[in-house]
Structure 1
């Protein structure tokens, strides 16, 4: 870990609750490896204290802050600028205190969403060029939204989103409209209960992603996929869950002969590394981070 000096610069992590987060471990490993006199600290900040906390980024000349729930969808109102993907997602997980030509922070705050960037960077790291590909995506939450929007902006051919018909289903319809109106990607929304359609779409797809919490505690014994017949061997299968490292869905895919099956660890890692590069301008050795974090 770096020594704290009078020159040490601060990156925040603002959410509530947040003391359980592994983000400071990841960030501080990277800053240390890159030789940066920077440290990340976690702060328990909710919606009531968020405006003051964001103002502290300016007042304390912080490099910025990661943002998690419940602040992702409301922090935009306190910023000076929001990038396209974050604006379309309606969620921000990274606030950057932009720098001038001399490298000094300016107090002009820009918001990003690195969740989608992290997912697709993980796909690219596996040597996969996803432009023009067909994605089947389960979920309409924050991770699903970020994955869909970023993928559409970066050249996916089509996205079929499935979700149960709960109170979050209309959010999926909103995502579909946003993608169709703002990108060249074709998106459609479907009821997850229509299993025949789900199987049909998965058999026609190039990439499948479950971006729900199914497979994670307390749902670790469950899968959104009924059985292995929904998979084909050349389908790229991904799960945003990283604990456990193999979900029931992932095991179903492997048992069905799928060769490329990935959990959410790479998304977690790359969304952090992208944020770190936004703060410092430096890229971090990926192999080193994977070794240190046991990925």
Structure 2
């Protein structure tokens, strides 16, 4: 697409940023809708975050995504932060309107949408085991509870970190029972049998590694697995699920859904259904990482 003085810019900040797939998704949607917009990746060193945020606003950028390592650090630099982003404790999308910056978090929206579309799963009234207590884990726990899950437990290498996460979220999620356990519980089918869904929020699987000791044998009918890892497309966790006839999905659906939500926040227009996912699939088919 030709860039002119009338082109509206959006983008993403992070460090490093060369690996980001956001430009592929968003530029495909802009093109399909015929919008005179362009999406640009901006490498921003942590030491220069405040300058970069002020500069993007001054330059008239309509909005930008935020990725590692800036999702938390960007919050005090904004004029306003949505309730959900404040609950999650991180911002991944910023909308700029007349110089005013508002932070949102679309990761939770993306997870719930992906569960619905890829696994026909609704969290309402269900029990979910979340693996990982980092930023993605916190986002998952909050979004699942806000979507009606009645029980969410966090399995993490450091039980103390998982417990701290539960303590920080529990007062704001009174309708959901939160708990923390060691990763060792993944080897106990009797424990896993009490859940309807397992969500992996860690990077385990990206290097063909597996969750330690995990056993998916003998679980209840309808049990499902969601792995936030999307490269490789079929992760070791998904292979293990398939061995036991368990439905599973990778993180591509979440990546697309959170991108679609951000796109709408910036433009006020929904991206064409399936456009972003088709663009990513085509990109990967070319052997791109």
TM-score of the two chains, using structure 1 as the length reference: 0.89
Counterpart Cα distance in 2 of 1:266 and 1:51:
32
* Alignment correspondent of 2:285: none
How far apart are residue 286 of structure 1 and its match?
2.5
* Cα pair 2:11 2:42 within 8 Å, conserved: yes
Counterpart Cα distance in 2 of 1:118 and 1:10:
23
* Alignment correspondent of 2:171: 181
* Alignment correspondent of 1:236: 224
* Alignment correspondent of 1:163: 156
* Alignment correspondent of 1:102: none
Number of residues paired by the alignment? Answer: 280
How far apart are residue 52 of structure 1 and its match?
0.9
* Alignment correspondent of 1:226: 214
Aligned-partner SS, 1:131: coil
* Alignment correspondent of 1:100: none
Show CA shifts across 1:179-230 (max 9, x none). Answer: 320022111111112346x53342111111111111112xx13234533326
Equivalent position to 1:113, from 98, 105, 118? 105
* Cα pair 2:93 2:104 within 8 Å, conserved: yes
Distance 1:94 1:171, change over 3 A: farther
Distance 1:110 1:75, change over 3 A: same
How far apart are residue 30 of structure 1 and its match?
1.1
Matches within 5 A, 1:67-78: 67-78=66-77
- Tell me if 1:252 matches 2:240: yes
* Alignment correspondent of 1:132: 125
**What do you get for the CA RMSD once the two structures are aligned?**
1.8
Counterpart Cα distance in 1 of 2:268 and 2:89:
25
Q: Greater relative contact order (Cα 8 A, min sep 6): structure 1 or 2? A: 2
How far apart are residue 8 of structure 1 and its match?
0.5
Counterpart Cα distance in 1 of 2:122 and 2:180:
24
* Cα pair 1:11 1:62 within 8 Å, conserved: yes
How far apart are residue 65 of structure 1 and its match?
1.0
Matches within 5 A, 1:266-281: 266-281=253-268
Gaps of 5+ in 2: 283-289
How far apart are residue 150 of structure 1 and its match?
1.4
Aligned-partner SS, 2:26: helix
Q: Which runs of 4 or more aligned residues in structure 1 lie more than 6 Å from their structure 2 counterparts after TM superposition?
A: none
Show CA shifts across 1:54-106 (max 9, x none). Answer: 11232112111111111111100100111122112221111111xxxxxxx31
Counterpart Cα distance in 1 of 2:221 and 2:125:
20
Distance 1:230 1:214, change over 3 A: farther
* Cα pair 2:189 2:216 within 8 Å, conserved: no
Matches within 5 A, 1:204-223: 204-217=194-207, 220-223=208-211
Aligned-partner SS, 1:120: helix
Distance 1:290 1:12, change over 3 A: closer
* Cα pair 1:164 1:191 within 8 Å, conserved: yes
* Cα pair 1:83 1:112 within 8 Å, conserved: yes
How far apart are residue 147 of structure 1 and its match?
1.1
Distance 1:276 1:171, change over 3 A: farther
Further displaced range: 18-27 or 284-293? 284-293
